[in-house]
Structure formats: structure tokens, C-alpha cells
Amino acid sequence: MKKDTILLGIETSCDETAVAIVKNGREILANVVASQIDSHKRFGGVVPEIASRHHVEQITYVLEEARQQSNTVWEDIDGIAVTEGPGLVGALLVGVNAAKALAFAKQKPLIGVHHIAGHIYANRLEKEFEFPLLALIVSGGHTELVLMKSHGAYELIGETRDDAAGEAYDKVARMLQLPYPGGPQIDRLAELGEEAIDFPRAWLEQNSYDFSFSGLKSSVINTIHNAKQRGKELRKEDIAASFQASVIDVLTTKTVRAAKEFDVKQVIIAGGVAANRGLRSALEAEFAKTSIPLLIPPLNLCTDNAAMIAAAGTIAFEQGRRSGLELNARPSLLLK
């Protein structure tokens, strides 16, 4: 019988300090996340230096908590997986150095993991993958369509050319004077509003799977300014609903088109914006019309966590990929 593979995962790329222990890339033995969102709320966003300081304060506690919850001993752990990028450099460094110290002290293999690979593999904690599969990653820093033909092989077929979807949400929320984080606020307002304003959809070139949300952002600003000059006040709910409709329309249409063109067996949604109710229901409705199964992970696996890093790391581990102790934080790492 094949021995189980148990990996410890560490994720500190942004504002969550997370450690998890995962068996065979699919079974969560422990998944501990210490969120800093309250610390960053008053600043209207993640403040890098504060984020790294929090990571330093919390990493050992989170690590200990995960080890206790999992009922494992060090002998059970086959390797240490850690997010090496992309992300905030000071934040990444805390996780990378913790992982290196553990790998060195406990004599365990070290595996550097791409943050987006983690988001994709969060889905495998729920359901086994079938290839080819298409992943739509939407978060504060990312808007990407990734095609996978086998484990650990990522083909980027589309990405944002300017703002990530989550960034556009945060910037529009800023204009509407909504508190941080902006995404959930707009999602909530959108449910109360009417799609009264016809904001543009950036389809780009006919066959492109790239995204662009900068023009939409500008259009929202212009619409608000123009209304103000004419002495009219637009309902925030309607702006939110109309803005969200444009984002969702483009994301959904391109994802469905790519899924059909590449004849995929699964479509998975990953990243923090996957928590958006409007997006979820639009995608569910569109894919219900096709025969392609749509996977959306539960909320706690959509947002940053370390179980997804351990899950993605398990595949790399099984494929024999290892990182040396020269592993470093790579803020602009590309997914390959």
C-alpha cells in the first residue's frame, strides 16, 4: 500500500497568517487562519509593514495550533510547502523564512508554491480534478483564466491588462465612500439596486481571454461626476448593481467561451471574489445551461489559506519538485 503523503503548508502572502496540514493533497487535518482584516480596515486596505509585523507575531502560534489540531508529530510530516509569491515582499518573507527554518531544523523537503496554484488546488480539497480543466481566479490582486491539462501544469490563457477585478471593486467602493474591503459592500448594495446605468463591457479583441477593468472604473467615475455637475445624485445601490453587472457579464461570458473552446471537463472558480454572490449565481446559471460541471469551493477555502498551499505543494512533492534553502520571496512570481 502506498504511504500517505502529509504536507505542512504555510501562507503569508498578504494579510492572512495561515498554517495547514493536509493528507494526500485532499484531506485537511488542520487549517488555521489568523486574519488581520480588522487591523487593516481603518486604513482602507492592507498596509504592508503592518501585515509583516502581524505575520511575525502570529506565525508561531498559528503553527502550534495547526500542529495540535492535526494530531500529528513531526515524523508524520513529509515536507513543508510555502507560498513563495506573488504577494507583498515583507509578508512573503515571514512565511518563507519560517518554512526554511523548519525544513532545516526538522530535515524535511521544502517546496515553494505559487499562490495562484494554491487557489486552484483549494478545489481539490473538495473534489478530485478531471482534465482538461479551466480555472477562473478572481481576487484583489488577480484576474486570470488558467487552463490545466494535467496536474501541476498551468497555462495562462487570459489575465487582466490593468486592474484586477477585486481592485476595480475596491476603487469603485472608494468613490462611493464605502468601507474596506469594498467587494462585499458592493455585492450587498448591488442586490438592493437596479441595473439603471449601462456601463461598458471591455471585450477586447474578438478571441482574447484577457480582461480590462480600468475603462469601467473610469466610466463609473465619469458617470458620478457628470451627474453631480447636473445637480443629480445617483443611487449608490444602482451604481453598484450596474458596475457589478458589467464585471460579472465579462467574467462569465469569457469563462463560458473558454470552457467550450477548450472542451474542458471541469470549471473551477478560485480566489476571494469567488465569494461574491452575484458572480456565483451568474456563473451557476450560465453553466447550468451547459454540461460542464462548475466547482466553487466553500468560503473558507476561497479566501487565502494554507490548506490550498499544502494541496498544491503535494502535487509538486509527488512530482519530485523541491526547493533549496536559497528559496526566496518573489513578489512578482509568474505562474508556469
Partner 1 sequence: MDTYQITTHTVEETIQLAEKLAILLKPGDVITLEGDLGAGKTTFTKGIAVGLGVKRNVTSPTFTIIKEYEGELPLYHMDVYRLEHSDEDIGFDEYFNGDGICIVEWARFIQDYLPQNRLEITISYINEHSRELAFTAWGDHFKYVLNELQL
Which of 24, 72, 208, 214 is in the footprint of partner 1 by CB under 8 A? Answer: 214
79 binds partner 1 (CB under 8 A): no
Q: Does 208 bind partner 1 (CB under 8 A)?
A: no
User: Does the protein bind partner 1 through residue 158 (CB under 8 A)?
Assistant: no
**Does a cis peptide bond (omega within 30 degrees of 0) precede residue 298?**
no
Rg, Å, the chain Cα set: 20
Distance CA 176, CA 221 (A): 10
Nearer to partner 1, 5 or 52 (CB): 52
140 near partner 1, rule: CB under 8 A = yes
* 12: contact with partner 1 by CB under 8 A: no
- Pick the closer one to partner 1 by CB: 41 or 322: 41
Candidate residues 26, 108, 161, 188; the one interacting with partner 1 per rule CB under 8 A: 161
Binder of partner 1 out of 54, 114, 171, 254 (CB under 8 A): 171
CB of 108 or CB of 203, closer to partner 1: 203
Whether cis (ω within 30° of 0) applies to the bond prior to 48 is no
- Residues that bind partner 1 (rule: CB under 8 A) add up to a total of 35
In the block, cell 495547526 appears at 66
Range in contact with partner 1 (rule: CB under 8 A) among 16-24, 67-75, 148-156, 171-179? 171-179
Q: Does 162 bind partner 1 (CB under 8 A)?
A: yes
Indicate whether 332 belongs to the interface with partner 1 (CB under 8 A): yes
Please pick, from the candidates 24, 35, 44, 293, the single residue that binds partner 1 as defined by CB under 8 A.
44
Going by C-alpha positions, the residue among 260, 251, 257, 259 that lies closest to residue 282 is 251
Enumerate residues 6+ apart whose C-beta is below 8 A from 236.
Answer: 176, 178, 189, 193
Shortest Cβ 320–partner 1 spacing (Å): 29
* Residue 218 within binding range of partner 1, rule CB under 8 A: yes
Burial call 253-271: b when 16+ CB within 10 Å, e when fewer? ebbbebbeebebebbbbbb
User: Given phi > 0 = left and psi -120 to 50 = alpha, else beta, which region is 25?
Assistant: left
Asked if residue 221 binds partner 1 (CB under 8 A), the reply is yes
Q: Which three cell numbers stand for residue 316?
A: 509538486
Q: Which three cell numbers, joined as nine digits, stand for 71?
A: 494530531
With contacts defined by CB under 8 A, name the span among 124-132, 163-171, 241-249, 287-295 that binds partner 1: 163-171
Binding to partner 1 by residue 222, rule CB under 8 A? yes
Q: Which stretch binds partner 1 (CB under 8 A): 3-11, 155-163, 197-205, 287-295?
A: 155-163
Those residues with Cβ within 8 angstroms of residue 222's Cβ, 6 or more apart along the chain or in another chain: none
Nearer to partner 1, 63 or 82 (CB): 82
Does residue number 35 form part of the binding site for partner 1 (CB under 8 A)? no
Q: Is 166 in the site for partner 1 (CB under 8 A)?
A: yes
* Smallest distance from partner 1 to CB 81, Å: 21
Residues that bind partner 1 (CB under 8 A): 42-50, 86-90, 140-141, 159-164, 166-167, 170-171, 174-175, 214, 217-218, 221-222, 331-332
